[in-house]
Copies of this chain bind each other. A is one copy, B any other.
Amino acid sequence: MRAVTIQADKSLLIQDRARPDAGDGEILIRVEAAGVNRADLLQRAGFYPAPPGASEILGLEVVGHVEAVGPGTTRFKIGDRVCALLPGGGYADFAVADEGSVLPVPDSLSAAEACCFPEAVFTVWANVFDRARLHPGEVFLCHGGTSGIGVIAVQMARLLGAESVFATAGTDEKCALAVTLGVDRAINYKSEDFVTVMGEAGGADVILDMVGGDYVARNIQACRPDGRIINIAYMNGFKTEVDFRPVLIKRLSLMATTLRARPIAEKRRLRDALEAKVWPFIMDGTLRPVLDSSFALSNVEAAHARMQSGQHSGKIVLLMGEG
C-alpha cells in the first residue's frame, strides 16, 4: 500500500509499505480520506514525535470502510463505513484503529466531508466539554474560529447550550463564515482587541486557545470569574510570563491537553461520551462539516502548504482514490 513518511530532510515520501494487520481489539480500515492536522506539520518538523507504539506514518484520522476486524472486536463488521481517530498511520491506503476510537459515518456525507469530524470532535469534546466543562448557559470564546477545530468547536458549543459563542479569526470573510456556523460575535483579531470585546460582554467562561504566547495573559484578562482556559497548542510560543494575581482573584484554571498520547481506554471513554452527546448531531446533519479543500495523496505537499499558509477555513483532507 501507499503510505506517507517523513524523510530525514523533513520532506515527505510516498512509499510502498506492507499493509498493517488488525491486532487485538483493532479495526483495519481501507482509507478513503485522511484529515490533515496542524500536528502533522509539527511532527514533520520534529516537534511532535509519534507516541510509543504508534505508526511513524503521518495522519491522525481517516474515513473509509472496514476491511478486516481483529480478535476481540465486537461492534463493527467488514464493509461498514466508519471514521476513526488514530495515533498515526492515516496518510495511507490502509490504517488500523483501536475499536474504541472508531465511529459510524452517515451515508449522506462524502468521505471528505466526514473527515471533517473525527479529530475535531474528539479534541473539542476532550478539551472544551470533558476537561474545561463548558456548561449550558455559559459564554464560550474560540480562538481560530474557522480552523478545522474551530468550525466544529463553535457549532458544538452552540448545539450543547452555550449562552453565547464568540470566535476570533483573521479576516472579515472568516468572521462571516463563523457567524454562519452560529457564532454570536466574530472578532477580527487584526482590527479588534478580543480582550476589549470580551470585557464589554462580561467575559468568557471557557476559552479554547491554540495561540499561546501573549494570548496566555490576554486570555486571563478575557475571562470572567471561575473561567477555564484550555490550550491545545501554543503556536506563538510555550514560554511566557504569567501574572497569577488575576488567576487567583478570578479563580481561573489554565489547562492544556493533547489527545494523541492518551491511553486507548481514555480515548474509548471519550468516544463513548461524544457518541452519546455529539454524534447524533452529525448523523442527522445538524453539525455541519466545513471542508476547505481536498488533495490527492500524491499532492500531499500542497495540502501541507495550504495548512501552513493559514489561509484555509475548515478542514483540509487527502483523498486516496484520486491518485
Contacts and interface: CB of A to CB of B under 8 A. Distances in A.
A122 to B, nearest CB: 14
Interface residues of A, number: 28
B249 A252 contact: no
A75 interface: no
A234 B240 contact: no
A17 interface: no
Interface string A219-252: 0000000000001111000111111110111011
29 contacts: A131-B251, A131-B253, A212-B244, A216-B242, A216-B244, A231-B244, A233-B248, A234-B244, A239-B241, A239-B242, A239-B244, A240-B244, A241-B241, A241-B242, A244-B256, A247-B254, A248-B257, A248-B258, A249-B258, A251-B255, A251-B256, A251-B258, A251-B262, A252-B255, A252-B256, A253-B253, A253-B255, A254-B254, A254-B255
A243 B240 CA distance: 7
Interface string A140-181: 000000000000000000000000000000000000000000
A238 B245 CA distance: 6
A241 B238 CA distance: 10
Q: Is the interface of A mostly helix, strand, loop or mixed?
A: mixed
Copies in the complex: 2
Interface of A: 131, 212, 216, 231-234, 238-245, 247-249, 251-258, 261-262
A258 B252 CA distance: 10
Contacts of A216: 242, 244
A189 B210 CA distance: 36
A101 to B, nearest CB: 17
B245 A242 contact: no
Contacts of A248: 231-234, 238, 256-258
A314 to B, nearest CB: 24
Contact of A241 (B240, B254, B257): B240
A249 B251 CA distance: 23
Contacts of A247: 231, 254-256
Contacts of A239: 241-245
Nearest to A229: B254
Nearest to A247: B256
Nearest to A232: B248
Contacts of A251: 131, 255-258, 262
Contacts of A244: 212, 216, 231, 234, 238-240, 256
Contacts of A258: 248-249, 251
A269 to B, nearest CB: 13
